[in-house]
Each structure stands twice: as structure tokens, then as C-alpha cells.
A = this chain, B = another copy of it.
């Protein structure tokens, strides 16, 4: 029997009033040992679960959650996050929750700090942020901690004891996944790991992937490969990559650690197309186009949308349903090729 008991039921069973039961349930004291015992006896027998609907109906407290992420105008990589947050907003619109999105310029720590000021001024109950800048993030979190604001992070894993929770992917492993796919297609030759990013703020992000990628080849002792790293900035991609191609005629594979695979694919398509295997990240439209053309072989899906969604929803559920906020949520590393891509684009 999983009949649902109410406080009134318990009160009746214990022969007291619901006020007393309520005091016991919430340890508010002012209860005689006799009453306490009677109520506890009842509680031990039955399986009382408070009705969350009733609780949330009653509560007039409005929870305010701020999300801080880079402006998608700077990098479409962040666009799916906005959708994920929107999903959460829709899902919880019935409840007293306000979810606000704030953007910062991913190339400017100042912007990051400034927007954080704005958020603090709103005195939210919780903040979900993209900790792009290590030092600044740690500093900011200290502030939030002092104000009693719960902080959740996503996308970037920052090593710091001050960070209590994180939603994202294991980047090292995702590098390994990329490596395993590369090794499936190729059996020898030169492979380039290319880091492309406007600013180099994603450095840790990209390095982890590189480490994982190299780690795979080392562990398997695949000595017929040589792996080179190449760093490109938006301004110099064309010339630098062209000369790199010339200098490395044996190049057979490229692993792009950011969502900019399309830039390389585009250059390769215009160049004399040697067969070069391309593996990159993220299902942004341009990448998927090249996937469909066969120029990009695999994409690894980082599922930013779900990252953002989970980042928000764990916070909301913490407030509404008293659920614990998981320390780390690691999303699966989805392998995408031309055949299954359509099921992932949202």
C-alpha cells in the first residue's frame, strides 16, 4: 500500500494536532517528549512524503536564478545554451522562479566582471556561470559565497575548491574519443591537432582535449603516427594553415579542438583536396554542412543545450523540491557522423 499520507493523517493517528506534527517534521521545537514519541512512532510505521505541490503552492518566495554565459553574437557555439535555458524557463514557469540570462564578452575579463556586478546587484538566490576566466571566476565565486548565493558552473571545469558543482563533459575523455575515431580511419601518417580560438581563453579547454588525444596514441603505442600541434588565430588562419599544409605533405588527419572545424574544412575544400580526415566539435550549422559534404568525418557533440538546461534545472529543483545539487554531471560524449547527425540537431 502506497497510500499517500498527509500531515492531517499523521496528526489524527498520533492523537495530536497538525501544528504539532508540523513542528516535529521541521524540528521547530516546542514539543513535549510525549507528543514527540507518539508522532515518531507513527512516522516510523508509515512512509510520509510531503506533498510538493501543496508546498510549492503555498510558498510565496520567488526564487531568482541568473545565468551568465558568453554572448552568442561573439560565438554561435553558445546559441544552444540559450535554448536549453529557455526550455528550463518553460518547464518551470508554473513555479515561482525567475530565470534571467546575462551575456558577457568572451574576450574580455572586464566584461565578465562587470556583468557579475550587475548580477550581484540583483541579489539572486543562485547563479549558473560559464567560468571562462579562471582567476576572475575564483574571485567572483568568493563574493557569491559571502552573499550566500549558490553557484553552479557549466561548460568549463575549473579546478578550485570553491566550486561546488559542475555540468559538462570530460574533455580528456573526449580527446580520447576523437583519437579512437581517428585511429579507426587512419593507420599511419601525420596528424595535426589544431587549436582555433579568437582569444586564447579557452586554453585549458583545448589543452585537455589535446592531452586526451595524445594520451590515446601513447597508450596504444601507435608509433606509425606523428602528432603535431598547431595554434591558429582567426586573423592568421588562412596563411598560416596554407604554409603548414605545404610544410607537411604527409598530413593525413586533423583534430580541431574547438567548434571551428568548418574553417579548416573550408580551406581544405578550396585547396587541392588531398584525403585528410577531419574530426571536430559541435553541431553548429556550418560544421554539419561539411559533415554532409564528407569533408568533416566526425563531430563530437558537446551538448551545450543540455548542459545549460541541466545547470539551471538542478538549481531550480534544489529550491523547489529540496533536491541535492550533484557535484558533477558529466554528459555523454556523443559521436556524430553524417548518418546520425540529424537526430541531434535541435
Write the residues of chain A forming the contact surface with B, with a CB cutoff of 8 angstroms. 49, 51-54, 56-57, 93-95, 170, 173, 176-177, 179-181, 184-185, 216, 330-340, 343-344
CA distance A51 to B54 in the complex (A): 12
Given contacts A184-B184, A339-B180, A340-B177, contact A49 B93 (CB under 8 A): yes
Residue with the greatest number of chain B CB neighbours at <10 A, chosen from A180, A181, A332, A338: A332
In the complex, the chain B residue whose C-beta lies closest to that of A340 is B333
Residues of B within 8 A of A180 (CB): 337-339
Residue with the greatest number of chain B CB neighbours at <10 A, chosen from A177, A338, A343: A343
Q: Contacting A94 at CB < 8 Å: which of B51, B95, B179, B185?
A: B51
Given contacts A53-B94, A57-B53, contact A173 B340 (CB under 8 A): yes
- Nearest CB of chain B from residue A60's CB, rounded to whole Å: 11
CA distance A234 to B331 in the complex (A): 36
A53 close to B173 (CB less than 8 A): no
Residues of B within 8 A of A54 (CB): 57
CA distance A333 to B95 in the complex (A): 34
Q: Contacting A57 at CB < 8 Å: which of B57, B170, B334?
A: B57
In the complex, the chain B residue whose C-beta lies closest to that of A51 is B94
Q: Contacting A332 at CB < 8 Å: which of B57, B184, B331, B340?
A: B340
Residues of B within 8 A of A339 (CB): 173, 176-177, 179-180, 216, 333
B335 close to A337 (CB less than 8 A): yes
CA distance A334 to B93 in the complex (A): 31
Residues of B within 8 A of A93 (CB): 49
A334 close to B334 (CB less than 8 A): yes
Could you pull out 30 A-B pairs where Cβ atoms are within 8 angstroms? A49-B94, A53-B53, A53-B57, A57-B57, A170-B343, A173-B339, A173-B340, A173-B343, A176-B339, A177-B337, A177-B340, A179-B339, A180-B338, A180-B339, A181-B337, A184-B184, A216-B339, A330-B343, A332-B334, A332-B340, A332-B344, A333-B339, A333-B340, A333-B343, A334-B334, A334-B335, A334-B340, A335-B335, A335-B337, A335-B340
B337 close to A343 (CB less than 8 A): no
Residue with the greatest number of chain B CB neighbours at <10 A, chosen from A184, A185, A333, A340: A340
Residues of B within 8 A of A331 (CB): 343
Residues of B within 8 A of A170 (CB): 343
CA distance A180 to B94 in the complex (A): 45
